[in-house]
Structure 1
Amino acid sequence: MRAPTVRNLCTLSALFRSRLTRNPNTKVETFRKPSSEFEVGFGSELQHSSEFDLPRDSSRGDLVDEDVQVSALLCSKQDKGSGYDEVDHEEKRKSAVAIPWLPDLSHGKLLAKRELVRERKSKCISKYSRTHRFHRLIKLCADKLGTTQAVNVLGQLGRKTGVNEYNALIKVCVQKARVTDDEYIALSEMSKAFHLFKSMRDCGYPLEEQTYDPLLRYIIDMGLVQEFQLFSDFIKAENPGLASRLGYYEMLLWLRVDNEEMIRDICEFITVDDREDTSALRVSYLMALCESDRKMQLLDVVKNIDIIKLLSVESIENIFQSLRRLQLESVAEDILLDLRARDHDADNISNFIVSYAVGIPNLAVEDIITKVNNMHGILEVLPSRSSYEKLILHFCGLDKVGDALDIVEQMCNAGFYLSTGVLQFILQICEESYEYILVYQIHSIVCRYHLELNGEIARCLVHFCVRIKDFEGAYKIIGDLEEMNFKPTTNMYNAIMAGYFREKNISDGLRVLKHMQVANVQPDSQTFCYLIHNCETEEDIMKYCEEMKQYQIHATKEVFMALVNSYAACGKLEKAKQVVLDLKLPKKALIEIKSVLVVALASHGQLSEAFLVYEQIKTAGHNLEPKAVTCLIEELTQHNGELDRLLLLLKEVNDLDYWVDVCFKVILYCARNKNLSTAILLLKQLKDKFENDEIVMEALFDAVFVIAASESTHLQIGLDLLWAIKDELDLMPSRQCLDFLLSACAKARDLNNARLIWREYQIAGFPYNVLSYLRMYQALLAAGDARSASLMLKKIPRDDAEVCSVIIACQETYSSVGEKKKQGKSKGRKSKDLNTSSSDMCSL
């Protein structure tokens, strides 16, 4: 079996990243709170005996059972049409005995995956808006200083505390109240929010819905009737125009506490009171009712009001969304027929149809299309442009881009034009789901219907062709867009150039610049960044630097980084060092560029020089970029560097994603060098960071034991880790971990430890499956215990031909061990199980 590598292990840390933002399901626990605490915060007039419903994390993800992955974990399947006899017997035996636990990740696939991750990361970074960073800053201030002091500090910093600041602070209070199990903390946070409301009033700021919505929803979730009344009265007093909108929250409260009398009175008010000045309040009540599961009350109200007179188009759509959720199709059809009979706008009716159809639970795409077509036919209306686009967006949200494109075809044939926003969204979904092959269909639609384009859409079309390595197709798209009077952009050519270089096709990558010159498209700094990064000689580097000057393109941070890497690749490490001394180098990017230099030096064997640059950065009071620290740790582990230096570097990594990666590397280094105490110390740190996530902890446990299965000499360190983690970390091993160790026992022909691991399956509560039986059977044969192996063989299901092949291969591989054990016994006596043929075994 091929030994797992550090690269294999590091890919597991991606699971940690995906789990960091997991949204756990919650369960509700209640406790009673004393009114005296509220009297302190809100005033002595407030007395109540209601209950908090605070969420507690009770989620635990489920792992896919290993039995489902049996065929993937066994040796790769033979060609069904070739037959057993046509396969080389020796090769089959070798591959069958090795029962891998993870599929091998080739270096090429890892590079491709890293490139995709790099692209996604750059997109994610672009999505971090100023608002996001602002809220993080406010939260940090509130956490460290408290809400009142945060307001004062912002004022001292010269920043006026405006509506956005107050809204952010109120959200912080609500979030703290939601997550706490301490009733006094929850009461304190509500009191702070109340005083922030007062402070806003004193500053002359109006109380709008974005301000009070988080707090009112929290109060509703807790079922706090009197507190709701207090805040509601305060908001009405400050902004009387909000009285009708507050009816929405009032209805949500009565629904939450199941106050049947109030619900009944409000439903009667909606249907009976038809005064114009109460219409806004009635709509608010109705919209809240639509969000509930009260089918009878909703039906009674809908049947007794004039929908067209009372509700806006958006409110009617909410009605249909509620009807579809409650599966009241006949009522929805009656309302649509009534709207059609009263000559309501046909486009709006088409939108209502789609709004209703796309929300029917568990309805397949084909059924949605059928439902939409049938309802349009019954009502004798034609689909509108907005209803087409709504359907397209819905299918894209389901990752059914092919079906969405079919709707685009129908829409264009009906004479409508697809908006650039919707087309760009389709391309975004294609990119996220890696459906680059759909570029041909999208390109065809764009050309046939002359759809309006923008720079991002054109870039995506070219980029998709590059992704599927159809470079000629990418050039063809550029030519077709020119015929549509869309001027090619630099980004389009940059995408082609990057694709060629990614495929190591340097000559064609360099030729892209000539195509740009012919097309009269000016290169930019990114173009020269690609060119310089892929230079093979110092002369080429200088040539492109001169061309940058001719085009009057200023060198960016990325260009300087490319220069460092390119000089290093050419073996000109001294020139690479001189790049960071350039006076034109952006000062803000100096540390990043020096970090690139550290990586270049370390990866080209100049580890001591890399540490000199590292020391310079530290002396200047800065920190090395996490990627550079990771590179240094990798190089140190490969060259058996000092453990103390490794641990020191690990402490400097502040980014959790990188920290998990390098922590795994150091743990592996400790395991390989049999430094158990340090490995356990690092495992404790990992446990502290992810102690509330059982799935992450299980992945952690698996990753540590990669080393145990790589070589038989590492079996003891794997066993020591097992007992230490059980005793010191109080963790139970996972099935994959035990599989690792059992395979290692088979390699080492260690029968005693194999039996210990076998008992660990029962202790951990894992039922034995076909893989565990096969591994133990292999371990027993390897150790020469033919009798126990024969008993184990009877427990292995043999209805799969590959399982039979593994059994036969194990018998042939370890038969010599059994023969040695049988010396002195009758030579004519042979094990019946060992002579079982492939056909006989599969028929058992």
Structure 2
Amino acid sequence: MVVFVFMKLARPTVRLFSTSTAIQESERVTKRSVSIDSIKKLHAHLIRNDLHKEPSSISEVVRSYALSPPYLDKARLVFYQIKRPTFLVWNHMIRGLSQSDQPSEAIRMYIRMYHQGLSGNNLTFIFVFKACGRVPDIVRGQMVHVHALKLGFQSYLFVSNALIHMYASCRDLDLAQKVFDRMEDRDIVSWNSLMCGFAQHSSFNDVLRVFEAMQSANVKADSVTMVKVILACTYLGEFGIADAVVKYIEEHHVGIDVYLGNTMIDMYGRRGLVNLARQVFDRMPERNIVSWNAMTDGLGSGFSFRRSCFSDEQQLEKALECCQLILKACISFRVCGQMANIVVKLTKDSCLVCPKKKQGGIGMEAESYNSVYYPPVKMDWPCF
């Protein structure tokens, strides 16, 4: 056991800009947050004044279109009209594509830039590594990694963090660890990226190992760290460590956001500690459907059937979204007597599914669950 010491292109009815001040106005617009409508007007103005092919003038238009998914194709059209795109314009396009539903296009855009004799800068590599991780494409990821090494960009903290995330997303956790180990400087994102990679691929012992090293290095954890550590403890059954982590959260005033709250509720629910799960649930400033499902599932698993029937206000807020799990929590002759016909059937079938789940046989669980026959049953809902 690991022991831790916690220390509309706009209608041109009105000319918005004069020809003589076109470039100045485009620069002024660039310096503030502008809406797509404003960008459309700026774009129309640049076209009227034949400035849409100048990278310094059109850069903000490309950026805004590229970072707005509905306008990504329009960003391409604008980009391909530019005479000689600068690093900044290339980066806008690569960034937009890297976070779109077609991240492989970001990699192709980078390769095209590279073949035109432009090597990119640190931001370029961050966006490309993100795209490689999302595809995932470790072959091209390693190719771009070599480019970054040759140019000396791997020494940049954010580039190394993006590399760790890329290799972890591509399931090469050994390379992710090597990049991490060779970093001269690390921040909380570095540690979290490595832990997230291990957690994503169910290497939960490694999550705890990295967290122990993080504590030894006196790095203060945040809510992202806590989510991964509690998740690892839950799956490994290391509830003593989980309790120590909760104590750390309280002592170091780590904010409990919706993700951390959901993870804590799930952890307590699996242990049958319904009161503690409910305390976390009640303290959460924000909840989502996962919060309600985890709480209801925990109540059902802990045999607190009556308490699963929340107050009227809570029912109104999430009853429809949670009805499937509320049904599970309400399987009790005492609370839902009218449902006796379905109770016997569900209870018997649950005995078939749950042991296989505890053994880790997820595929077997799904097979058993799908093979269960549920006859049509006419039911009343006494809980509502």
Q: What TM-score bracket applies, with the shorter chain setting the length?
A: 0.5 to 0.7
Q: Residue 428 of structure 1 is aligned with which of 58, 64, 71?
A: 64
Shift of 1:508: 3.2
Instruction: After superposition, give the CA deviation of every residue in 1:124-146 in whole Å (9 maximum; x if it has no partner).
Output: xxxxxxxxxxxxxxxxxxxxxxx
Equivalent residue runs for 1:160-559 within 5 Å: 368-369=11-12, 371-372=13-14, 384-385=21-22, 389=26, 397=35, 399=37, 405-412=43-50, 417=54, 419=56, 423-424=59-60, 427-428=63-64, 430-446=66-82, 448=83, 450=84, 454=88, 457-466=89-98, 467=100, 468-469=102-103, 470-479=105-114, 483=117, 488-518=120-150, 521-524=153-156, 525-531=160-166, 533-534=168-169, 536=171, 539-546=174-181, 548-549=182-183, 553-559=184-190
Shift of 1:460: 2.2
In the superposition, the TM-score normalised over structure 2's length comes to 0.63
Inter-CA distance 538–464: structure 2 relative to 1 (3 Å threshold): closer
Are the equivalent residues in 2 in contact too, given 1:490–1:523 (CA < 8 A)? no
Match for 1:475: what amino acid?
Answer: Y
Say if 2:232 is the partner of 1:601.
yes
> Counterpart in 2 of 1:560?
191
Greater relative CO, 1 or 2 (CA 8 Å, sep 6+) = 1
Equivalent residue runs for 1:676-691 within 5 Å: 676-677=306-307, 679-681=309-311, 684=313
Inter-CA distance 669–619: structure 2 relative to 1 (3 Å threshold): closer
Match for 2:187: what amino acid?
Answer: T
> Counterpart in 2 of 1:701?
316
> Counterpart in 2 of 1:162?
none
Match for 2:144: what amino acid?
Answer: V
Structure of higher CA gyration radius:
1
Q: Distance in 2 between matches of 1:581 and 1:540?
A: 20
Q: Distance in 2 between matches of 1:475 and 1:402?
A: 26
Instruction: After superposition, give the CA deviation of every residue in 1:545-575 in whole Å (9 maximum; x if it has no partner).
Output: 45x24xxx31221111233344556766444
Are the equivalent residues in 2 in contact too, given 1:490–1:521 (CA < 8 A)? yes
> Counterpart in 2 of 1:675?
305
Match for 2:175: what amino acid?
Answer: D
Q: Distance in 1 between matches of 2:111 and 2:47?
A: 22
> Counterpart in 2 of 1:110?
none
Q: Distance in 2 between matches of 1:610 and 1:715?
A: 32
Equivalent residue runs for 1:578-597 within 5 Å: 578-582=209-213, 587=218, 589-592=220-223, 595-597=226-228
> Counterpart in 1 of 2:5?
none
Match for 1:408: what amino acid?
Answer: L
Q: Distance in 1 between matches of 2:216 and 2:93?
A: 35
Match for 1:516: what amino acid?
Answer: A
Shift of 1:513: 0.6
The percentage of aligned residue pairs carrying the same residue is 7
The alignment of Structure 1 onto Structure 2 pairs a total of residues equal to 325
Instruction: After superposition, give the CA deviation of every residue in 1:743-798 in whole Å (9 maximum; x if it has no partner).
Output: xxxx6435x88xxx9xxxxxxxxxxxxxxxxxxxxxxxxxxxxxxxxxxxxxxxxx
Shift of 1:633: 1.7
Q: Distance in 1 between matches of 2:327 and 2:180?
A: 54
Shift of 1:488: 1.0
Q: Distance in 2 between matches of 1:503 and 1:701?
A: 40
Q: Distance in 2 between matches of 1:419 and 1:537?
A: 40
Q: Distance in 2 between matches of 1:713 and 1:531?
A: 39
Instruction: After superposition, give the CA deviation of every residue in 1:308-334 in whole Å (9 maximum; x if it has no partner).
Output: xxxxxxxxxxxxxxxxxxxxxxxxxxx
Q: Distance in 1 between matches of 2:326 and 2:253?
A: 41
Match for 2:210: what amino acid?
Answer: V
Are the equivalent residues in 1 in contact too, given 2:132–2:141 (CA < 8 A)? yes
Q: Distance in 1 between matches of 2:178 and 2:151?
A: 21
Shift of 1:490: 1.9
Q: Distance in 2 between matches of 1:385 and 1:582?
A: 56
Inter-CA distance 618–560: structure 2 relative to 1 (3 Å threshold): closer
CA RMSD of aligned residues (A): 4.8
> Counterpart in 2 of 1:16?
none
Match for 2:266: what amino acid?
Answer: E
Are the equivalent residues in 2 in contact too, given 1:602–1:610 (CA < 8 A)? yes
Match for 1:492: what amino acid?
Answer: T
Inter-CA distance 462–581: structure 2 relative to 1 (3 Å threshold): same
Shift of 1:407: 4.1
Say if 2:381 is the partner of 1:749.
no
> Counterpart in 1 of 2:276?
645
Say if 2:281 is the partner of 1:633.
no
Are the equivalent residues in 2 in contact too, given 1:501–1:534 (CA < 8 A)? yes
Instruction: After superposition, give the CA deviation of every residue in 1:104-163 in whole Å (9 maximum; x if it has no partner).
Output: xxxxxxxxxxxxxxxxxxxxxxxxxxxxxxxxxxxxxxxxxxxxxxxxxxxxxxxxxxxx
Are the equivalent residues in 2 in contact too, given 1:538–1:567 (CA < 8 A)? yes
Are the equivalent residues in 2 in contact too, given 1:465–1:473 (CA < 8 A)? no
Q: Distance in 2 between matches of 1:538 and 1:418?
A: 40
Shift of 1:436: 2.2
Are the equivalent residues in 1 in contact too, given 2:265–2:278 (CA < 8 A)? no
Partner of 1:589, secondary structure, is: coil
Structure 2 portions without partners, runs of 5+: 1-7, 337-375
Partner of 1:475, secondary structure, is: helix
Q: Distance in 1 between matches of 2:35 and 2:252?
A: 47
Shift of 1:641: 2.8
Inter-CA distance 390–643: structure 2 relative to 1 (3 Å threshold): same
Are the equivalent residues in 1 in contact too, given 2:133–2:169 (CA < 8 A)? yes
Q: Distance in 2 between matches of 1:594 and 1:472?
A: 30
Structure 1 portions without partners, runs of 5+: 1-363, 687-699, 722-746, 758-844
In the superposition, the TM-score normalised over structure 1's length comes to 0.32
Are the equivalent residues in 2 in contact too, given 1:494–1:527 (CA < 8 A)? yes
Equivalent residue runs for 1:99-118 within 5 Å: none
Match for 1:410: what amino acid?
Answer: R
Instruction: After superposition, give the CA deviation of every residue in 1:503-534 in whole Å (9 maximum; x if it has no partner).
Output: 23334333321232355644533234325634
Are the equivalent residues in 1 in contact too, given 2:207–2:229 (CA < 8 A)? no
Q: Residue 662 of structure 1 is aligned with which of 291, 295, 301?
A: 291
Inter-CA distance 675–597: structure 2 relative to 1 (3 Å threshold): same
Are the equivalent residues in 2 in contact too, given 1:595–1:625 (CA < 8 A)? no
Inter-CA distance 603–428: structure 2 relative to 1 (3 Å threshold): farther
